[in-house]
Amino acid sequence: MLFKQLFDQETGTYTYLVADQNSKEAVLIDSVREQAERDTKLIKELGLDLKYFLETHIHADHVTAVSTLKEEFPLAQSVVSAHGGAPCADILVKDGDEIHFGELTITVLETPGHTDSCVSYRMPDRVLRAMPC
């Protein structure tokens, strides 16, 4: 598994890039609009096939880069919580749903708090979540 943790100083947002090293299929979690160029460059440099944009929540604390990144990765689907998320998303998820890419699986955990739409993403060895969700 390839795992990169990125940080946007302005918004205090962590973005995660996770990929299956064999298939090169990847997900990008909590992208930030101001970092779209950085993320695009990294994904292309690593030769990854971006499958999903995952959001831990929808809130004004940072503006997602999904609409900008979809110009570069038009086949990647956006994923948000079905509870108070964005109805314009490609996929609405709830507790226990799974996201598959390559040989990897991420399980959705509903973790409401910061917003009603907060979710965390569990992998076998880690849980990825927004702060302060």
pLDDT in tens, 63-94: 788 999 999 999 999 999 998 767 789 999 99
* pLDDT score for 114: 73
Gap between the Cα atoms of 103 and 52, Å rounded: 14
* pLDDT score for 58: 78
Q: What are the DSSP E strand ranges found in the chain?
A: 2-8, 13-19, 25-29, 49-54, 77-81, 91-93, 98-101, 104-110, 119-123, 126-128
Q: Give the mean pLDDT of 44-49.
A: 98
With a cut of 60, say whether residue 133 has pLDDT above it.
no
Q: How many CB atoms lie within 10 A of CB 115?
A: 19
Bridge-based pairing state of the strands 119-123 and 49-54: unpaired
Q: Which of 27, 30, 69 is nearest to 48 (CA)?
A: 27
Q: Which helix (H) or strand (E) holds 38?
A: helix 36-45
| Domain 2-128 = CATH 3.60.15.10 | yes
With a cut of 60, say whether residue 28 has pLDDT above it.
yes
pLDDT in tens, 117-129: 899 999 999 999 8
Extract the tokens encoding 133. 């969700």
* pLDDT score for 117: 83
With a cut of 60, say whether residue 61 has pLDDT above it.
no
With a cut of 70, say whether residue 46 has pLDDT above it.
yes
Q: Give the mean pLDDT of 46-75.
A: 88
Q: Exposure pattern of 20-32 as b/e (b: 16+ CB <10 Å)?
A: beeebbbbbbbbb
